[in-house]
Amino acid sequence: MGFADWLPYLCKLSLFYVDFLEELNEPQRQAATSVEGPVMIIAGAGSGKTRVLTYRIAYLVKQGIDPFHILSLTFTNKAAREMKERIASVIGPSEAKNLWMGTFHSVFARILRSESDRLGYPSNFSIYDTDDAKSLIRTIINEMGLDDKIYKPNTVYNRISNAKNALITAHAYRQSTEFISDDEQASRPRLFEIYQTYTERCFKAGAMDFDDLLLKTYELFARFPEVLYKYQNRFQFILVDEFQDTNFAQYAIIRQLAALYQNICVVGDDAQSIYAFRGANIQNILDFEKDYPELQTFKLEQNYRSTQTIVDAANHLIAKNKAQLPKKVWTANPSGERIKVYRALTDNEEGQFVANQIFELQMNLQKEHSDFAILYRTNAQSRALEEALRKQNIPYRIYGGLSFYQRKEIKDILAYFRVVINPQDEEAIKRIINYPARGIGKVSLDKLLVAANDQNVSLWEVMGNPAGFGASVGSGIQRKIQEFRLGLERFRQVATKANAFELAQELAKHSGLLKELYADKSPEGVSRYENVLELLNGIKEFCDQVEAGTIDRTPTLSSFMEDVALLTDADETDDDQRPKVSLMTVHASKGLEFPVVFIVGLEDTLFPSQMSMSTRAELEEERRLFYVAITRAMERLTISFAETRYRWGQLVHNEPSQFISELDQDLIDLIKPAYDPMSQIQGPSDPFRKKLSRQFSIPEHSKLRSTNQAKAAPGKPGLGASEIRPGMLVRHHRFGKGKVLNIEGKGPDKSATILFEGGEKRLLLKFARLEEGGNGE
């Protein structure tokens, strides 16, 4: 680096020293500078937590601590990256480079890769995602001849996952009277055997699932004190962000690592704990005080993010929860607008309302589209919102849902990569052995798998010599297996030298996968093809970055793959830089803030979710979730609910969420829909209904409407199946305008072939909900 390169950094550095103390309020300053010993920072929403963490690390470095000795655990990789950038701008990029920052899973995966031999794992072990794990569990359940109605792969997976997050190994599970008796009561007495077999099969495949990354790390440190000692000395200062969302296993590992130096700083907010469903435990916060009697606790209570109204509303709501640490979040910000509460008639109408609001506010308040966020409880709710935004030509981006790396075509090609890197990876082989089709069907695969189990060798080994391991496949098939295996074997040779991009490109071609996708000219097929090309581009970018020294890695495929399995939805980048409205689940919105926020779908059984209404603890978690959603808003907050919405393709009626009635009624304004066919809107009578009905003038005493709700919705009349004729111009909510070409079938199975702009579709009329439309064509 020349002097000119250093100049901006020197300027920033001096600025930092000048501004540093003045930029922080008193508790923030103390939290940032009390760097010795155990520290807990309870950081209310919007209280400048990230700033404190950044300055704390900068302060440590300024005190002469080598960044090499600092470990910072964050909730997403993106959070880690952003914080690293901020720190780099303060202490300089070369220093910041040595900081270890990342998610629990990615940091521990790195440790496990370098220490894997001690646990008998290869250093290039595969990471099974949830689908891989469930697929293996399904296989085992079938092999054991168990009924998958009773042993549901999902349930079994969750059970095993819970056990692992509580650091219960398969062996310990068997001894645990609690787990065993629970299973017996659920008439799943053989669950522990599945767990046992699952563990063995993962080991044989050189694979770890997400939970193993924690469990095995704990095991590694517990069994090898010298390894633990090494990392204790490496990480003399440990910071944990989002501490309220750590589970028992994560906390146990932190405790191991911090045992020697005790320089452990955790930051969290019990009011924002929203991951209990995956084992996160508020108890960790309470235990922390017991485990570290010397603990210094700091509370950050001043909110810099939101208006007075929003802060008050959030406080008022969360006060309904029993289990919480005492704190008082306050703000010096102006009171701002009242919170809007909107009752929509349908989910689609709710979407229209939000889209219209964004359109208007964007004009009136001179906002960018990126200033808006729409938050919902479940991913499935995004559909109606997307549609409405598209109609208004509002650019948006969806976070989460089916992420890029979860798409079938991407997982397929990644499976090829995985086998090249680790040929023992059984789930990856199963995925690609007959894709693209090469004549190795289910029957042959089963024979190979049975042999692999009987002989206790890997699938890959059996494929090398099926007859030798007692798999009686025909000679033709055997040749095909051989060919497939040799092809991969050859790539394994190349892999040791070639860079990731060349290798990946060759693999995509050679496997026939690109050709297969290219042949499919349907819109979906084209997009699948493009996705694979995009992945290859991503790999190219990775190689370029390594070459340029931007990231400190080797340009190998396995190096690329190390990151991929642990990417989170929030980590995905968007090349298109146009400002966009953000759509995401409330969970995904954690840690973010937006000037204008819409929280949609505040309905009973949706938010709070049906699944979480049976116990007080679950309901409190839902309430915290709502609290998180509210506190994302800086200036303007709108909450909405719909009277009816499509769920599982059926129109269902919903009651407003109890959380709406829990809001401080003095802080909200109720908005009516522009059109208001009140006579159609009816509902049962209850106290809350009474209140709402006063505000909305809903008749209190009236029967629940049963059918034909769609008619109450605005828009063109729906067409009945009998009214559809060939040649008619129609409109479909999803595919847009189209022309009916042909009618087939009769009665309930009557279907129509319709030419839409996006191509021909055949639709069952009882589902299609066609409207009259396409005038003027």
Binding mask 266-305 for DNA (x = CB under 7 A): --------xx-xx---------------------------
For residue 155, count CB atoms less than 10 angstroms from its CB and return exposed for 0-12, middle for 13-18, buried for 19 or more: middle
Cα dist from 517 to 407, 514, 522, whole Å? 13, 5, 10
State the nearest-atom distance from the C-beta of 274 to DNA, in Å: 7
User: What is the C-alpha separation between 756 and 391, in angstroms, rounded?
Assistant: 17
CB burial of 394-404 (b: ≥16 within 10 Å; e: otherwise) equals bebbbbbeebe
Binding mask 555-574 for DNA (x = CB under 7 A): -----------x-xxx----
Residues 6+ apart with CB under 8 A from 564: 405, 414
619 is a contact residue toward DNA (CB under 7 A): no
Nearer to DNA, 649 or 727 (CB): 649
The site for DNA, by CB under 7 A, has a size of 52
Count of all residues that appear for the chain in the document = 777
State the nearest-atom distance from the C-beta of 278 to DNA, in Å: 4
User: What is the C-alpha separation between 267 and 286, in angstroms, rounded?
Assistant: 13
Residue 749 contacts residue 765 (beta carbons within 8 Å): no
Two structure tokens written together for 201: 């099969």
Region from 11-19, 171-179, 415-423, 441-449 binding DNA, contact rule CB under 7 A: 441-449
Q: What are the start-end ranges of the E strands in 574-632? A: 581-585, 594-599
Nearer to DNA, 230 or 647 (CB): 647
Nearer to DNA, 587 or 689 (CB): 587
Nearer to DNA, 590 or 636 (CB): 590
Binding to DNA in span 380-409, by CB under 7 A: 380, 400, 408
Nearer to DNA, 153 or 555 (CB): 153
Q: Where are the alpha helices (DSSP H) in 35-129?
A: 49-62, 77-91, 93-96, 104-119
Residue 495 contacts residue 420 (beta carbons within 8 Å): yes
State the nearest-atom distance from the C-beta of 703 to DNA, in Å: 26
Residue 387 contacts residue 394 (beta carbons within 8 Å): no
597 is a contact residue toward DNA (CB under 7 A): no
Query: Looking at 8, 334, 439, 468, which residue binds DNA (CB under 7 A)?
Result: 439
Region from 60-68, 146-154, 481-489, 491-499 binding DNA, contact rule CB under 7 A: 146-154
104 is a contact residue toward DNA (CB under 7 A): yes
Query: Which residue(s) pair with 603 in the sheet?
Result: 656
644 is a contact residue toward DNA (CB under 7 A): no
| Strand bridging mode 70-74 / 237-240 | parallel
Nearer to DNA, 60 or 83 (CB): 83
Query: Looking at 234, 647, 739, 750, which residue binds DNA (CB under 7 A)?
Result: 647
Region from 6-14, 17-25, 103-111, 504-512 binding DNA, contact rule CB under 7 A: 103-111
Of 766, 631, 643, 644, give the one whose Cα is nearest residue 696. 643
| Strand bridging mode 372-376 / 594-599 | parallel
Binding to DNA in span 21-60, by CB under 7 A: none
754 is a contact residue toward DNA (CB under 7 A): no
Q: What are the start-end ranges of the E strands in 230-371? A: 237-240, 264-268, 296-300, 302-303, 330-331, 339-346
State the nearest-atom distance from the C-beta of 713 to DNA, in Å: 15
76 is a contact residue toward DNA (CB under 7 A): yes
User: What is the C-alpha separation between 113 and 128, in angstroms, rounded?
Assistant: 15
SS3 sequence of 636-687:
EEEEEEEEEEEECCEEEECCECHHHHHCCHHHEEEECCCCCCHHHCCCCCCH
Binding mask 472-491 for DNA (x = CB under 7 A): -----x--------------
State the nearest-atom distance from the C-beta of 75 to DNA, in Å: 7
Query: Which residue(s) pair with 568 in the sheet?
Result: none
Residues designated as active site: 49-50, 241-242, 272, 632
Binding mask 232-271 for DNA (x = CB under 7 A): ----------------------------------------
Footprint on this chain of DNA (rule: CB under 7 A): 75-76, 103-106, 130, 149, 152, 154, 210-211, 274-275, 277-278, 377-380, 400, 408, 434, 437-444, 477, 566, 568-570, 585, 587-588, 609, 611-612, 618, 647-649, 734, 763-764, 767-769
